[in-house]
A and B are shown apart, each in its own frame.
Chain A
Amino acid sequence: MSEPKLNRRDFLKLSAVGVAVISGLKVIKYATASETEAGPHQWVMVIDQGKCTGCGYCTLACRAHNDVPPHISWNEVTLAGQVGEKPVYIARPCMQCAKAPCVDVCPVQASTYRPDGIVMMDYERCIGCRYCEVACPYSARSFNWETFEGPNPAVPEWGEPEVPRRPRGVVEKCCFCYNRIDRGLSLGLIPGVDPEATPACINICPTGARVFGDFNDPESNVSKLLHERASFRLREELATFPRVYYLPSIPEA
């Protein structure tokens, strides 16, 4: 420490440069966010509010097929309002946003984008910090506050579990029954057309209010529906680009 004053100045300059570099890197990293390549399929769900009776079968089928605890709903059905004399309901699965806040904020990258648009959850990686739950604008995520033990009351009446049960301490959400989609595709089935390859909620809807398919395929049922009818998505002003479209209920003439 022969020339303390100069040394201190150097350190000051070093630190200023260091902080500037680190902040600059941070800014660059955010700006040039690496994105997952889009795959050949882009799964999209369309829910017709005109046909939905609010029966809640979709929630029950989802609960049975994914072994969801009774106090958690991956697909929540709520009363939205009234059109004419008829009550209108909204069924809210996970929106599988193209720009999902939950994927950005997870500290361990337990939420990732699949090439087909589904936002996947890795339950082995999740540390249960609940940041994604705070960040989701649709309250689509639920935390396992306690261990779910014992039989699932929705089984076997509404279906049987096709994915393992989640442990305590992780956040879970709807994943568009990716296991059914993947298995169906490997067998040459078409998700949205063949029931074995389609999410459980789509299959069980008694009125056919829920439709599933490939947005990239112009001939698919969803593409045609979205072309013919006006549709909306939830909280579009937040620019999350959700993949669940709603067809508004049209008042009877």
Chain B
Amino acid sequence: MKAARKFPRNTLWLAWIGVLCILIAAGVVAALLVFSKGLVLTNLSDRVPWGLWITIDLSSIAVSAGAFSLCAAVYLLGLKRFQPVARTATFIGLIGYTMALLSLMLDIGRPDRFWHAVVFWNKHSLLWEVTMCVTLYLAVLAIECMPIFARFEWLSRRFPKLTSKMLGLHRFAPILAVIGLGLSMLHQSSLGAIYGVLKARPYWFRPDISVLFIISAVAAGMSLTVFASMISSRLTKKVKVDDDLLDRLAFFIGWILIAYLYFRFWDALAMTYTYEPGRTEGLSLLTQGTLSFNFWIGEILLGLVVPILLLLNKKTRAMPFWRMLALALVVGGMVAYRWDTNLSGLLIVLSYLPGNLAVAYTSYHPSLIENVSGMGILAYGLLAFSLGVRYLRVVNHQEITHHAQEKLVAEPAAAD
């Protein structure tokens, strides 16, 4: 950047970190207010009990799906050349799951009882299953990220033995990939099924939300990984990426989007047939009502059609600007999908009066506290990723190849 010549070289970096820290501080203040005064500070109500924070939670888990899909590709399908991207994806996954946990801590009424789900089981509950899988998968991600943390130079200088042990954990990668795949397939789709099993909400009560959630998660996760890799390489010369790899991934993402669009199309079309109170109104909220901009522009046009055209067309896929734009739009579209799914069921108020088919509507806009704390969580994610790029070199396609990794693993074993 030419402007940076007048200032010390890392001014932009410091400014970026500074802004993120301010946002995080504001988020912490907002969170402390919520912990002390209660959720009455939000615009949530008994009619709309789930709002912005749950959307952040769902979206964070969705964009972390790159971890399990790329690790599965590398270690189970044998596509070893994607390993560097898988590493980036795993790190993003760890950040994403911690973001999800933070937003959940904010959202539940009793954060001091967050451990109850692990101790008190309800095997019938999908939310319990999601909590257990998220907890276990977080552990899996943490172990999978140990080799990444081991490359922190200060750590390897200060604690060389610990660092080599951490590096050595890499040999468990295939097993962890299997476990991660199983856990992720379970909870990514269960997140959709949380909505899908509620017969009280006719708009939600169908089985294909789970399918849509997992497909959209895979697309969003891989998109965010590729986007983050590309933008890191553009912002600093120290980060080198293999554009060929990213191009292949972008191509693959384009086809996933086509599959997703197919399911989404039939999912929406099927609901237009016959009037069912609650369901028809939910769909009309999406297509014509309060959520229509989010749906048509956010989800369909910008979130699916434009990225499909950009990613499947070789010329536009080769141009970094259009590829990055398409990937960013995909992530935005998948976040919009989760916002729409959550609200389309909650904004519809069905009467329990007998024979009364009247449907009423309620409204929801996040309050300042929700927005500030949400921004704080997002800023934390960006900060963690920025630090990872700079100090842990999570985006680096040149440094370590598969064979070099094997050598590193073999050495500590030989030293014992």
Contacts and interface: CB of A to CB of B under 8 A. Distances in A.
Direct contact of A and B (CB under 8 A): yes
Interface of A: 1, 4-5, 7-8, 11-12, 14-15, 18-19, 22-23, 26, 29-30, 33, 78, 80-81, 90, 92, 101, 103-110, 125-131, 133-139, 141-147, 167-171, 232, 234-235, 238, 246
A106 B125 contact: yes
Contact of B109 (A22, A134, A136, A144): A144
> Closest 9 A-B residue pairs measured CB to CB?
A128-B109, A169-B109, A137-B200, A107-B128, A146-B40, A109-B122, A130-B49, A107-B127, A145-B40
A121 B29 CA distance: 33
Nearest to B39: A145
23 contacts: A8-B76, A8-B77, A12-B76, A15-B178, A26-B129, A33-B124, A80-B356, A107-B131, A108-B128, A109-B122, A109-B125, A126-B109, A127-B113, A129-B107, A131-B194, A134-B49, A137-B199, A139-B46, A141-B46, A145-B40, A145-B44, A145-B45, A168-B109
Contacts of A131: 125, 127, 194
Contacts of B49: 130, 133-134, 143
B71 to A, nearest CB: 11
Nearest to B47: A139
A133 B50 CA distance: 10
A41 B60 CA distance: 48
A108 B120 contact: yes
B196 to A, nearest CB: 12
Contacts of A110: 120
Contacts of B350: 137
A141 B109 CA distance: 14
B122 A129 contact: no
Looking at B120, B121, B177, the one whose CB has the most chain A CB atoms below 10 A away is B120
A105 B37 CA distance: 27
Interface in B157-207: 174, 177-178, 181-182, 185-186, 194, 197-201
B82 to A, nearest CB: 14
A246 B33 CA distance: 45
Contacts of A101: 198-200
Nearest to A128: B109
A126 B110 contact: yes
Given A107-B127, A128-B110, A169-B110, A232 B354 contact: yes
Contact of A169 (B39, B124, B185): B39
Given A104-B124, A109-B122, A142-B46, A15 B78 contact: no
A130 B47 CA distance: 11
A134 B178 contact: no
Contact of A134 (B37, B125, B201): B201
B126 A147 contact: no
Nearest to A237: B199
A18 B182 contact: yes
Given A15-B178, A128-B108, A145-B44, A8 B78 contact: yes
A246 B346 CA distance: 27
B77 A169 contact: no
B352 A135 contact: no
A4 B40 contact: no
A11 B75 contact: yes
B321 interface: no
Contacts of A141: 46
Contacts of A33: 124
B38 A106 contact: no
Contacts of B177: 11
B274 to A, nearest CB: 15
A197 B113 CA distance: 34
B352 A139 contact: yes
A109 B120 CA distance: 7
A127 B44 CA distance: 17
Contacts of B45: 145
A238 B199 contact: yes
Contacts of A144: 38, 109
A106 B110 contact: no
B182 A107 contact: no
A241 to B, nearest CB: 13
Contacts of A4: 78
Contact of B76 (A5, A15, A143, A232): A15
A11 B125 contact: no
A11 B122 contact: no
B323 to A, nearest CB: 30
B116 interface: yes
Nearest to A25: B123
Nearest to B119: A108
B127 A92 contact: no
A136 B121 CA distance: 20
A207 to B, nearest CB: 21
Contacts of B198: 101, 105, 134-135
Nearest to A88: B353
A152 B181 CA distance: 52
B110 A238 contact: no
A143 B109 contact: yes
B114 interface: yes
Nearest to A248: B354
Contacts of B75: 8, 11
A195 to B, nearest CB: 29
Looking at B50, B75, B127, B186, the one whose CB has the most chain A CB atoms below 10 A away is B127
B143 interface: no
A130 B108 CA distance: 8
B117 interface: yes
B108 A146 contact: no
A5 B39 contact: no
